[in-house]
């Protein structure tokens, strides 16, 4: 699954906690993110968006979607990390906007809710996501 010069894909850089939207080989938008708090928590590699959910439930603590206590925020875009089915690692919103731009997550890519909502509207299922150190 190589990156193409045409079309849209995402690049996430863990070192800088930045997500870039690339269209036809050019970066068209960059947004801050939060990634894994320890090395290895956020997987690296090339993945695809395989699930999209509005107001996702936080299953681990049974917090419904839309609840202000829900750490997943307003949107979920799950990645096809092997063995996860698109429900373990993903790009999602947050209920802690002050933490965006740092390495604080349990492995997912957190974004400001306004940024993840923009991304959700513009990235279809199947969008390639490259996660780099």
The answer to whether 54 touches 65, Cβ cutoff 8 Å, is yes
Domain that residue 104 falls in: 8-131
Place of tokens 């993903």: 90
Residue 99: inside a domain:
yes
Structure tokens at 120: 């959700």
Which residues neighbour 108 within 8 Å (Cβ) at sequence distance 6 or greater? 42, 89, 90, 91, 92
pLDDT value of position 35: 99
Residue 3: inside a domain:
no
Residue 79: inside a domain:
yes
Residue 83: inside a domain:
yes
Residue 125's CATH number: 2.40.440.10
Residue 2: inside a domain:
no
Mean pLDDT, the chain, rounded, equals: 96
> CA angle 71-131-14, nearest 5°?
65
List, by residue number, the catalytic residues. Answer: 92, 108
Q: What is the pTM of this model?
A: 0.94
Q: Is 48 exposed, middle or buried (0-12, 13-18, 19+ CB in 10 A)?
A: middle
- Total of domains in the chain: 1
Q: What residues does 8 pair with on adjacent strands?
A: 23
- Whether residue 3 has pLDDT greater than 80: no
9-20: string of b/e by CB count within 10 Å (b at 16+)?
Answer: bbbbbbeebbbb
pLDDT digits (tens, 9 = 90+) for 36-89: 999 999 999 999 999 999 999 999 899 999 999 999 999 999 999 999 999 999
pLDDT digits (tens, 9 = 90+) for 4-28: 567 999 999 999 999 999 999 999 9
């Amino acid at each position: 699954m190589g990156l193409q010069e045409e079309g849209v894909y995402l690049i996430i850089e863990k070192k800088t906690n930045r997500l870039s939207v690339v269209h036809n080989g050019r970066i068209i938008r960059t947004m801050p993110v939060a990634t894994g708090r320890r090395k290895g928590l956020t997987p690296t590699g090339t993945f695809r968006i395989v699930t999209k959910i509005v107001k996702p439930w936080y299953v681990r603590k049974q917090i419904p979607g839309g609840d202000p206590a829900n750490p997943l925020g307003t949107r979920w875009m799950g990645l096809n990390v092997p063995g996860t089915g698109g429900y373990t690692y993903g790009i999602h919103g947050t209920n802690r906007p002050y933490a965006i731009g740092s390495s604080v997550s349990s492995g997912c890519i957190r974004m400001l809710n306004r940024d993840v909502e923009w991304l959700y509207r513009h990235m279809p299922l199947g969008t390639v996501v490259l996660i780099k150190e």
